[in-house]
Structure formats: structure tokens, C-alpha cells
Amino acid sequence: FDPEEGRSYEVGAKYALAPELNFNLAVFDIEKKNVVTPTGVTGVSEAAGKVGSQGVELDVTGRIAERWDMIGTYAYTHTEVLDDPNNKGNRLSQAPKHTASLYLTHHLQIPSDLGEWHAGGGARYVGERAGDDANTFYMSSYTVADAFLRWDVPMAGYKTRLQLNVDNLFDKQYYPSSTGSQLQVNVGEPRTARLSASVTF
């Protein structure tokens, strides 16, 4: 395939809703050529002539109450095949119009000699999207919840962090993408727990 080429424009704005709460907004317009997409035949892909996407992204991050932090995001993206003999005017496959997420973190009030404990969780949403370039079928929207527990404590003079993450908390079955065929869709990750540790020197 020829190298993918493109051009993009973006305009953004930031606003402080409160001393520790920020709002960001961005509007974008992107065009790309030679975007490689699956054809529905295993191992075979094709390059669309030209595709475009326009949309808006916004996020709100920061402290919403004492010991409570929030990260909220939303994006609207309109995609269209602009130059292709077979699919002109169609939506670009695997590209949802709407995506969103909302996560909260609570900083637990625990005696300082026990370290700092943080608990949080939230959900991520992905809207309906075309499953192939011809737009003959669509992948359903889905929402998945996640949670975490984190412990920050000094050990031997170094900042140590232990964190437990549980992704897909309710073990929801969902299908994030396809290979271009209704018979070949990818299954989302089941409930997964991860324990990690880090030391800052």
C-alpha cells in the first residue's frame, strides 16, 4: 500500500470551572488518503481513496468535592468516505460517532501512618459503528465498567505504590471491532484483574 497521508485542523479552548476543576474543548477536521481497512476476507485489506472526519471532543477533569476527583470525556466524530469508487458517502468502518467515559476517584480518610488509600471506578461507552466499508452491518454500542484500589506508602524512604485494577467489572460480553465480516468479530476482554507495584527512586 502507498503511505497514508493526511491533513488536520484543530481549534481548542480551556476554561477553569473551579480552582481545581478544568474544562477542555477541541473541534477538529481531518482528511486522510490511503487508509487501510479490512475487506472481510481473512488476511486481506484495502486502501480507501480518501476519508474525512470532523467532530468535537470535550473533557472535564479535577476536584469536584473534598477527597473526590473526576475525569469525564465525550467525543462526537462524523466520518465519511470521500473518494472511493465503491463506498463513497459511507461511514468509515470501526469508527463510532459517540464515545464517552466517566471515572471517579475517592481519596480515603485513613490515618497517615497507614499510607494513602484511593478507590475509584467508572465506565466507558462506545457507540454504534459500521462493521465494514460497505456499511452492510453495524456493531452494537456497549458500556463497560472498571474499578481500582491504590495504596501509596513510603518504604525505606522511597514512594511505593500498589494498585489493583479490575477491568470489565461486571464481566459484560461485548464486541469492540470486526474484521469486515459479520462472521468474524472480535470479542472484548472478559473481567480481568491486574495487580501492579512501582517504586519511585
How many CA atoms, within 13 angstroms, populate the side-chain half-sphere of residue 79?
23
pLDDT at 49: 75
b/e code 78-109 from CB counts within 10 Å (16+ = b):
ebbbbebeebeebbbbbbbbebbbebebebee
Q: What percent of the chain has pLDDT over 70?
A: 93
Residue pLDDT, tens place only, 120-168: 999 999 999 999 989 999 999 999 999 999 999 988 888 999 999 999 9
pTM for the complete prediction? Answer: 0.86
Domains of the chain (ranges plus CATH)? 5-200 (2.40.170.20)
